[in-house]
């Protein structure tokens, strides 16, 4: 299975978002303000209903307004006609530090030319500092 996973015993919180309708470019699923020190160590995006047209649906996770991926090509991506898990991984460093007050945003960056995927869910796990 693509994507990353967190060790459940270490997870202190999850940031989740969902859209039942077809997603749109720039759509925000969720905004969250951290209350803990930790690190984002797992990211999952999943779509149940395919999009249509040329291109991909691309998700993003922002920390304080900046993508956790330096390279746009590394962001969670799912081809228009596909369903299931997006290809994804946590940010470029393997984990991304989180401090109390940091704002985490789950959003869709781009969609296929005609219609974005529908029934899209996204989750980011935050593990506590040891």
Q: Could you state, in order of their start, the residue ranges of all structural domains in the chain?
A: 8-128
pLDDT digits (tens, 9 = 90+) for 45-92: 999 999 999 999 999 999 999 999 988 888 999 999 999 999 876 766
Give the mean model confidence (pLDDT) for residues 95-110: 94
| Alpha-carbon span 56 to 58, nearest angstrom | 6
Is the Cβ–Cβ distance between 97 and 39 less than 8 Å? yes
| Alpha-carbon span 119 to 126, nearest angstrom | 23
Is the Cβ–Cβ distance between 110 and 58 less than 8 Å? yes
CATH code that applies to domain 8-128: 2.60.120.40
pLDDT at 73: 87
Of the candidates 28, 1, 8, 10, which has an alpha carbon nearest to the alpha carbon of residue 122?
A: 28
| Alpha-carbon span 21 to 6, nearest angstrom | 28
């Amino acid at each position: 299975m693509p994507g990353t996973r967190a060790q459940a015993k270490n997870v202190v919180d999850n940031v989740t978002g969902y859209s039942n309708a077809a997603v749109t470019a720039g759509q925000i699923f969720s905004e969250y303000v951290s209350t803990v020190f930790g690190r984002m160590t797992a990211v999952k995006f999943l779509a149940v209903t395919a999009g249509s047209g040329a291109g991909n649906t691309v998700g993003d996770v922002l920390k304080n307004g900046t993508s956790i991926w330096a390279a746009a090509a590394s962001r969670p991506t799912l081809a228009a006609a596909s369903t299931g898990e997006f290809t994804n991984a946590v940010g470029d460093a393997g984990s991304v530090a989180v401090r109390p007050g940091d704002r985490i945003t789950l959003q869709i960056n781009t969609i296929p030319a005609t219609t974005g995927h529908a029934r899209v869910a996204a989750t980011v796990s935050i593990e506590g500092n040891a």
